[in-house]
Amino acid sequence: MVVSTMYVNPVTGNDANTGSPLSSERTMTGALKATQSSAIIQLPPGMYSTASGGVFPLIIGRGILVVGGG
C-alpha cells in the first residue's frame, strides 16, 4: 500500500496546488478532497478556520492520518 503525504499551509498554500512541501494545499478541506485513501496530512502550526477557506465539519476517512506540528 502506498501512503502519500499532503502538506497544508493556511498562509502560503493554495487548494489548486499539488500538496507537496513546496506546493502546499491551503486548507485541510482541500487536502482531504485531494487524497484517495491512505494518506498523511501534515499541518504546520497555524489557524485552521473558515477564514482561511476551510469547510467544517471535516470528515476524516479511514486510513487518513492528520499530523500537526506544534
CATH number where 63 lies: 3.30.1910
Query: Is residue 57 reached through a cis peptide bond, with omega within 30 degrees of 0 on the bond before it?
Result: yes
Q: What is the pLDDT of residues 26-63, one digit of tens each?
A: 999 999 999 878 999 999 988 888 988 999 999 999 99
DSSP string for residues in the chain = ---EEEEB-TTT--TTS--BTTB-BSSHHHHHHH--SSEEEEE-SS--SGGGT--SS----TTEEEEE--
Q: When comparing pLDDT for 1 and 7, which is higher? A: 7
Q: How many CB atoms lie within 10 A of CB 52?
A: 17
CB proximity list for 49: less than 8 A, separation 6 or greater: none
pTM: 0.88
Total domains, the chain: 1
pLDDT for res 47 = 84
- Provide the domain limits for residue 51: 4-68
